[in-house]
C-alpha cells in the first residue's frame, strides 16, 4: 500500500511492510521471475490543506516537499522499487484518469447526485462516507459527526454488494478482514410484510428477518422520516409528534441505534390490522428505526427483540410471549401475504468533499443547475490555485475566479463547475492499475499491460483499511472490468493475496505518538546502525502480523549479528569448496525459502542465526565456500547492502539480485536441528542448537566451548561427560 506523504516523514511502521515486499520481490527475482515492485504517493488529503490554512504554503508545495523526504528515506532503506513507475495521485497526469473514471461511473449509471442525510464533520468542515465514521466520530479528526441534508455525489457500490460478498471466497486474505467486509456488506435475508391501516386504503410495509415471530407483534414502528408519518398522525397527537421529530432530527444513526441509549418514541394515534389475527395494533414513531434500512418500518416483537422489549417496557406496550419455530418463517410469510427479501447494510459511497486538496469532480452545471459531465477532451480539469482555503463549509474552489471563467469559456455563460472534490479514497481505488502503464497519456493503462501484470499477487498494508480502501478498490476493479477496461483474464479481484502488518509500538508498549515521546525515527536508526540492521530488526521483532514493541537492545543484537556475518565470511573467504558440505546449509536453504513464502521472516532470520552459530561450533570441516555463498544468497533479500559487499569480497562482480536462489539437496537434510541442554553439575547452564545428526564427538566439543559454559569450566577438571542424544550434555566437574 502506498503511503500518504505526511510532514512527519517515514515512521517505523512503513519499513515493516516495505521490507516484507522487498524480501519477497528479491526472492522472486532470484527465482527468475519478472517482478513489478512499485511505489507511489497517495498525495491528496486534508493535512496538506490544513497546513496551507495555517501557514499559507500551497498544498502542492508542502506535499512535494514531503514526497522528497519520503523518497530519500525510502531509498536509504535499499528497497528495490521500480522508480520509473512512481506515481503521484495529486499530479494532473494522474488525476486526469481519476476524473475520467468518475465520468465512466457517471456514463454507466454508477455515479449520481442526490440530496441526502449525510455525515458532516464540523472539524474537517466536510461530509464523510459511512466508512469514515467510527463510533459516531470522524475517523480522522475524532470530532463528533452530525447529520445534514445536502446534495452530494455518490458511487453506487450497492450494485456490487452481492459480488463483493461472494468473491471474498476467491481471495487469499486474512480471515478477520474478510469477516469485517462481510459484516459491513451485511447481507440479511428476511421478508417484507404489509400491515394494512385500519379504515384506510393504505398499508405499512415492514422488513423483518423473523417472520416466525409474527404472532408476537404488538405494535408497529415507523422511522421519524417515514413518508407516512404525516398522514398517519392524528390531530390529537400532532403536537407531540412534531416535538419528537425536532429532537431526533439532529441525532446520528449511531446515537439512534445504540443498544445502551434509552429508547424514545411517540404514538401516531393510528392503528394497523394484524395480517394473521386481524387484531388492531398501534403505530408508533421511534428513532431506533432507521429510514435508510429495509422499508424504514418494523413490526415490533417485544418478546423476541431486545430493542422492542426495552421500548415496550418504557411505553407500557403489551408483550405476547409465544413459542416460535424458525422453520415456520416462510410459511408464515406466505400466509401474511408477504414476500421474501434480501437487504444489505452496505450504503452507496458518498464521494463529494467540501475540501480543496483533492481531484475536482468533472461535472459542469448549466444555468438551470442541471449537471452535465465535463467533456473528456477538457480533462484534466486542473485544480485552480487562486483560492481562499479558509473552510467555510463549502468547497474552497468556489472562490476561484479562474475556475469560474474556465467553465464559461468552455461551456457558455452561466455554466459553472462542481466545486466539490473527490474523496481521496477514489484516487487510491485504482492506483494499482496505473502502475502497469504509468506514462500512458491515451489510456489509464493499456489492456495488454493490465493482462500482463494483474492481478496483484501480493498486497501488504495495515488492517485499518479493511472496509475503506480495500472495499473501494474491489468495487472499482469490478466496475471497470464490467465497463470493458480490465481484461477478463485478470479476474474479478484486484489483490489475490493480502497480508497485514502488525503495528510497531513504542518501547513502552503504547502506540507511538509525539505526545508520549516514544516515537522512533527510522532515519536515526539508519544513521546509527545502517539500513540492513533496521530491515533485519523489523523483520525479526515477531510474527509479521502481530503488534510488537520496539526494543533498542534487540536492535543492537541485530547489529552484532551482521558484524559477525561479516567477520565469519571474511575469515573464511579463502576456504575451498567441499562437496560434502554440512547438512545444515541444506536445511537452512529449505527453511529460509519456506519461511519467506509464508511471511515467517522472523523464523527465517533465526534459522540463519542458528546456521552462523553452528558454523562456529562445527568447525571448518562442515563449512566450505559453497555453504558460505549460499548463506550470503539467503541473507541477501533481508540485508542487501551487507551481502552485496561480501559477495564482492568473495570475488564476484555480479549483482546478487541477478544471482540464482540457492537450491538444497533433500537427501542431505536427514533431520532438523535440536536444542540441547547443557548441564554443569546437574544444573542447566546453557543451551545450544545443533544439527540432529551431529556426531557425539562434535557435540561434546561444542558443549564445552560456549561462552557461558567456558566460565563454569574455567580452572576445573572434567570428571564425567555424558551425551544423551538430542536431549542434553551433562558435564561433571570438580
Q: Binding residues for ligand ANZ, per CB under 6 A? A: 188, 207-210, 213, 223, 289-290, 293-294, 296, 298-299, 301, 304-305, 343
Closest approach, Cβ 300 to ligand ANZ, in A, equals 7
**Would you say 324 and 214 are in contact if contact means Cβ atoms under 8 Å apart?**
no
Which CB atom, from 256 or from 499, has the smaller least distance to ligand ANZ? Answer: 256
**Would you say 467 and 479 are in contact if contact means Cβ atoms under 8 Å apart?**
no
Name the pairing type of β-strands 339-343 and 219-222: unpaired
Q: How far apart are CA 109 and CA 112, in angstroms?
A: 7
Which CB atom, from 285 or from 633, has the smaller least distance to ligand ANZ? Answer: 285
The DSSP secondary structure of 609-640, one letter per residue, reads HHHHHHHHHH-GGG--HHHHHHHHHHHTTT-H
In 3D space, the residue among 23, 185, 3 whose CA is nearest the CA of residue 87 turns out to be 3
Name the pairing type of β-strands 548-549 and 504-505: parallel
Which CB atom, from 304 or from 600, has the smaller least distance to ligand ANZ? Answer: 304
**Would you say 680 and 716 are in contact if contact means Cβ atoms under 8 Å apart?**
no
Handedness of CA 24, 29, 34, 36 (dihedral sign): positive
Closest approach, Cβ 557 to ligand ANZ, in A, equals 51
Provide the CB-side half-sphere exposure for 412 (13 A, CA): 5
Name the pairing type of β-strands 495-500 and 456-461: parallel
| R_g of the chain computed on alpha carbons | 33
Grid cell of 286 as nine digits: 421511534
Q: How far apart are CA 411 and CA 414, in angstroms?
A: 9
Closest approach, Cβ 302 to ligand ANZ, in A, equals 9
Closest approach, Cβ 254 to ligand ANZ, in A, equals 13
Q: How far apart are CA 297 and CA 287, in angstroms?
A: 10
Sequence-distant (6+) residues with CB within 8 A of 37 are 21, 22, 25, 80, 81, 82
Q: How far apart are CA 465 and CA 253, in angstroms?
A: 22
Which CB atom, from 40 or from 224, has the smaller least distance to ligand ANZ? Answer: 224
Closest approach, Cβ 110 to ligand ANZ, in A, equals 25
Closest approach, Cβ 289 to ligand ANZ, in A, equals 4
Helix (H, G, I), strand (E, B) or coil at 364: strand
Q: Which helix (H) or strand (E) holds 206?
A: strand 203-208
Closest approach, Cβ 340 to ligand ANZ, in A, equals 13
In 3D space, the residue among 420, 422, 430 whose CA is nearest the CA of residue 472 turns out to be 430
Grid cell of 414 as nine digits: 452561466
Which CB atom, from 94 or from 293, has the smaller least distance to ligand ANZ? Answer: 293
Q: How far apart are CA 118 and CA 336, in angstroms?
A: 35
What are the start-end ranges of the E strands in 156-201?
188-197
Which CB atom, from 23 or from 297, has the smaller least distance to ligand ANZ? Answer: 297
CA distances from 156 to 128, 161, 433 (A): 16, 10, 21
Which CB atom, from 320 or from 568, has the smaller least distance to ligand ANZ? Answer: 320
Which CB atom, from 289 or from 709, has the smaller least distance to ligand ANZ? Answer: 289
Closest approach, Cβ 337 to ligand ANZ, in A, equals 16
Which CB atom, from 304 or from 590, has the smaller least distance to ligand ANZ? Answer: 304
Closest approach, Cβ 539 to ligand ANZ, in A, equals 42
Which CB atom, from 221 or from 361, has the smaller least distance to ligand ANZ? Answer: 221
Closest approach, Cβ 246 to ligand ANZ, in A, equals 20
Closest approach, Cβ 301 to ligand ANZ, in A, equals 4
Q: Is 169 exposed, middle or buried (0-12, 13-18, 19+ CB in 10 A)?
A: exposed
In 3D space, the residue among 203, 240, 209, 241 whose CA is nearest the CA of residue 225 turns out to be 241
Closest approach, Cβ 288 to ligand ANZ, in A, equals 6
Which CB atom, from 294 or from 362, has the smaller least distance to ligand ANZ? Answer: 294
Closest approach, Cβ 91 to ligand ANZ, in A, equals 43
Which CB atom, from 191 or from 699, has the smaller least distance to ligand ANZ? Answer: 191
**Would you say 435 and 40 are in contact if contact means Cβ atoms under 8 Å apart?**
yes
Q: How far apart are CA 504 and CA 13, in angstroms?
A: 6
In 3D space, the residue among 132, 183, 128, 134 whose CA is nearest the CA of residue 161 turns out to be 183
Closest approach, Cβ 130 to ligand ANZ, in A, equals 15
Grid cell of 623 as nine digits: 563449512
Which CB atom, from 299 or from 467, has the smaller least distance to ligand ANZ? Answer: 299
Which CB atom, from 81 or from 207, has the smaller least distance to ligand ANZ? Answer: 207
Closest approach, Cβ 281 to ligand ANZ, in A, equals 13
Chain centroid offset of residue 314 CA: 42
Which CB atom, from 192 or from 423, has the smaller least distance to ligand ANZ? Answer: 192
**Would you say 630 and 589 are in contact if contact means Cβ atoms under 8 Å apart?**
yes
Name the pairing type of β-strands 363-365 and 416-417: antiparallel
The DSSP secondary structure of 445-458, one letter per residue, reads S-HHHHHHHPSEEE
Name the pairing type of β-strands 133-134 and 137-138: antiparallel
Which CB atom, from 249 or from 412, has the smaller least distance to ligand ANZ? Answer: 249
**Contacts from 47-51 at CB under 8 Å and sequence distance 24+?**
47/4, 47/6, 47/7, 48/357, 49/355, 49/356, 49/357, 49/389, 51/7
Amino acid at each position: 500500500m502506498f503511503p500518504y506523504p505526511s510532514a512527519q516523514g517515514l515512521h517505523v511502521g512503513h519499513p515493516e511492510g516495505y521490507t516484507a515486499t522487498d524480501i519477497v520481490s528479491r526472492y522472486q527475482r532470484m527465482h527468475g521471475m519478472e517482478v513489478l515492485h512499485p511505489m507511489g504517493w497517495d498525495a491528496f488529503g486534508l493535512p496538506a490543506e490544513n497546513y496551507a490554512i495555517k501557514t499559507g504554503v500551497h498544498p502542492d508545495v508542502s506535499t512535494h516537499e514531503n514526497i522528497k523526504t519520503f523518497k530519500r528515506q525510502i531509498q536509504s532503506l535499499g528497497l528495490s522499487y521500480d522508480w520509473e513507475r512512481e506515481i503521484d495521485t495529486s499530479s494532473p497526469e494522474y488525476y486526469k484518469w481519476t476524473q475520467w473514471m468518475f465520468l465512466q461511473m457517471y456514463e454507466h449509471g454508477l455515479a449520481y447526485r442526490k440530496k441526502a442525510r449525510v455525515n458532516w464533520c464540523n472539524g474537517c468542515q466536510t461530509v464523510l462516507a459511512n466508512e469514515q465514521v467510527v463510533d459516531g466520530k470522524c475517523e480522522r479528526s475524532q470530532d463528533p459527526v452530525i447529520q445534514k441534508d445536502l446534495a452530494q455525489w455518490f458511487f453506487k457500490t450497492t450494485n456490487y454488494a452481492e459480488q463483493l460478498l461472494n468473491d471474498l471466497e476467491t481471495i487469499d486474505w486474512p480471515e478477520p478482514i474478510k469477516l469485517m467486509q462481510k459484516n459491513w456488506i451485511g447481507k440479511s435475508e428476511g421478508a417484507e410484510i404489509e400491515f394494512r391501516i385500519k379504515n384506510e386504503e393504505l398499508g405499512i410495509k415492514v422488513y423483518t428477518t423473523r417472520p416466525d415471530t409474527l404472532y408476537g407483534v404488538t405494535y408497529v414502528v415507523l422511522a421519524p422520516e417515514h413518508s407516512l408519518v404525516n398522514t398517519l398522525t392524528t390531530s390529537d397527537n400532532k403536537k407531540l409528534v412534531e416535538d419528537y421529530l425536532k429532537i431526533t432530527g439532529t441525532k446520528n444513526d449511531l446515537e439512534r441505534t445504540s443498544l445502551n441509549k434509552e429508547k424514545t418514541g411517540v404514538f401516531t394515534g393510528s392503528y394497523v390490522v394484524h395480517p394473521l389475527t386481524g387484531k388492531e395494533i398501534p403505530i408508533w414513531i421511534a428513532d431506533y428505526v432507521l429510514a435508510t434500512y429495509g422499508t424504514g418500518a418494523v413490526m415490533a416483537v417485544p418478546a423476541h427483540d431486545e430493542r422492542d422489549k426495552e421500548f415496550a417496557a418504557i411505553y407500557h406496550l403489551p408483550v405476547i410471549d409465544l413459542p416460535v419455530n424458525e422453520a415456520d418463517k416462510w410459511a408464515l410469510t406466505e400466509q401474511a401475504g408477504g414476500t421474501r427479501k434480501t437487504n444489505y447494510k452496505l450504503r452507496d459511497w458518498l464521494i463529494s468533499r467540501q475540501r480543496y486538496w483533492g481531484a475536482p469532480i468533472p461535472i459542469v452545471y448549466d444555468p438551470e443547475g442541471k449537471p452535465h459531465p465535463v467533456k473528456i477532451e477538457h480533462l484534466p480539469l486542473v485544480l485552480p490555485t487562486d483560492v481562499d482555503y479558509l473552510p467555510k463549509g463549502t468547497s474552497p474552489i468556489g472562490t476561484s475566479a479562474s475556475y469560474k471563467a474556465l467553465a464559461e469559456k468552455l461551456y457558455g455563460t452561466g455554466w459553472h463547475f462542481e466545486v466539490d472534490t473527490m474523496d481521496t479514497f477514489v484516487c487510491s481505488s485504482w492506483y494499482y492499475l496505473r502502475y502497469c502503464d504509468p506514462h500512458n497519456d491515451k489510456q489509464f493503462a493499456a489492456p495488454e499491460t493490465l493482462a500482463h501484470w494483474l492481478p496483484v499477487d501480493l498486497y501488504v498494508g495495515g488492517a485499518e483499511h479493511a472496509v475503506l480502501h480495500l472495499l473501494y478498490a474491489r468495487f472499482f476493479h469490478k466496475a471497470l472490468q464490467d465497463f470493458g477496461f480490465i481484461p477478463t483474464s485478470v479476474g474479478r479481484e484486484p489483490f489475490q493475496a493480502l497480508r497485514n502488518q502488525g503495528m510497531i509500538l513504542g518501547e513502552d508498549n503504547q502506540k507511538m505518538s509525539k505526545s508520549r515521546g516514544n516515537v522512533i525515527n527510522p532515519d536515526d536508526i539508519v544513521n546509527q546502525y545502517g539500513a540492513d540492521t533496521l530491515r533485519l530488526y523489523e523483520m525479526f521483532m515477531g510474527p509479521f502480523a502481530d503488534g510488537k514493541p520496539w526494543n533498542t537492545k534487540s536492535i543492537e543484537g541485530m547489529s552484532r549479528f551482521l558484524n559477525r556475518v561479516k567477520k565469519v565470511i571474511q575469515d573464511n573467504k579463502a576456504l575451498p569448496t567441499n562437496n560434502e558440505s554440512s547438512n545444515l546449509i541444506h536445511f537452512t536453504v529449505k527453511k529460509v525459502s519456506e519461511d519467506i513464502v509464508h511471511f515467517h521472516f522472523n523464523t527465517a532470520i533465526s534459522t540463519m542465526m542458528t546456521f552462523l552459530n553452528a558454523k562456529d561450533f562445527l568447525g571448518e570441516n562442515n563449512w566450505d565456500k559453497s555453504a558460505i555463498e549460499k548463506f550470503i544468497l539467503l541473507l541477501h533479500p533481508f540485508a542487501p547492502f551487507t551481502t552485496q559487499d561480501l559477495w564482492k569480497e568473495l570475488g564476484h562482480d555480479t549483482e546478487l539480485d541477478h544471482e540464482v536462489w540457492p537450491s538444497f539437496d533433500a537427501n542431505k537434510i536427514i533431520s532438523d536441528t535440536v536444542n540441547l541442554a547443557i548441564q554443569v553439575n546437574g544444573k542447566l547452564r546453557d543451551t545450544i542448537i545443533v544439527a540432529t545428526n551431529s556426531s557425539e564427538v562434535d557435540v561434546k566439543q561444542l558443549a564445552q566451548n560456549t561462552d557461558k559454559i567456558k566460565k563454569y569450566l574455567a580452572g576445573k577438571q572434567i570428571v564425567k561427560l555424558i551425551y544423551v542424544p538430542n536431549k542434553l550434555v551433562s558435564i561433571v566437574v570438580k
